[in-house]
């Protein structure tokens, strides 16, 4: 094998939209649908029967199991893990639904059957065991509501406008 060749696996029956970018050593399973302008980071595993909406960004080392549905304009941070089997190794699975505009922080874990509401934020390393209402921010183990998405946006805006005196 050529050491300089990048190896990804994309199932022949996966449907990829326009301008999809799949980085190094990633896997996309059978019967998966990925919308336009999606970016998938290195070492990410997207299993079979997954749907991902347009303009979504999935960072590296993310696991997305079968039956997961991710909406449009979603961000999934590095190392996040979605689950679909509440009682391993049950033959019955339950997918996670992430609605449009949501943000999933790095290393967050989402329990099977959970719905992450539109424009909500799951903090990094949160363990989500209950549905997340739209426009809210959840943190912790187990995740609990901390504040609203509008408060999050204000905090982000303040962070982005901060000027380091040494610059």
Assessment of whether the complete model's pTM goes beyond 0.85: yes
What's the structural domain count of the chain?
1
39 assigned to some structural domain? yes
Average pLDDT over residues 39-68: 97
1 assigned to some structural domain? no
| CA dist., res. 131 & res. 58, Å (int) | 21
166 assigned to some structural domain? no
Which tens digit of pLDDT belongs to each residue from 109-158?
999 999 999 999 999 999 999 999 999 999 999 999 999 999 999 999 99
167 assigned to some structural domain? no
4 assigned to some structural domain? no
Which residues span the domain enclosing 79?
Answer: 9-161
Kindly tell me if the per-residue pLDDT of 2 is higher than 90: no
pLDDT of residue 157: 92
CA atoms within 13 A on the CB side of 8: 18
19 assigned to some structural domain? yes
| CA dist., res. 139 & res. 73, Å (int) | 21
Are the CB atoms for 127 and 142 separated by under 8 Å? Answer: yes
Please give the C-alpha separations between residue 90 and each of 60, 68, 83, in angstroms, as whole numbers.
Answer: 28, 17, 13
Kindly report the CATH number assigned to the domain that includes residue 76: 2.160.10.10
14 assigned to some structural domain? yes
């Amino acid at each position: 094998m050529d050491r300089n060749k990048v190896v990804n696996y994309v199932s022949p029956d996966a449907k990829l939209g326009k301008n999809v970018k799949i980085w190094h050593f990633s896997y996309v399973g059978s019967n998966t649908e990925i919308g336009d302008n999606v970016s998938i980071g290195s070492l990410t595993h997207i299993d079979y029967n997954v749907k991902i909406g347009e303009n979504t960004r999935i960072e590296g080392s993310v696991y997305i199991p079968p039956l997961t549905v991710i909406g449009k304009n979603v961000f999934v941070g590095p190392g996040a893990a979605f689950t679909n089997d509440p009682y391993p190794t049950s033959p019955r699975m339950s997918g996670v639904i992430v609605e449009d505009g949501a943000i999933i922080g790095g290393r967050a874990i989402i329990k099977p059957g959970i719905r992450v509401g539109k424009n909500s934020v799951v903090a990094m390393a949160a363990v989500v065991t209950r549905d997340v209402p739209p426009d809210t921010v959840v943190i912790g183990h187990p995740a609990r509501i901390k504040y609203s998405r509008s408060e999050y946006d204000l905090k982000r805006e303040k962070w982005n406008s901060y000027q380091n005196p040494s610059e």
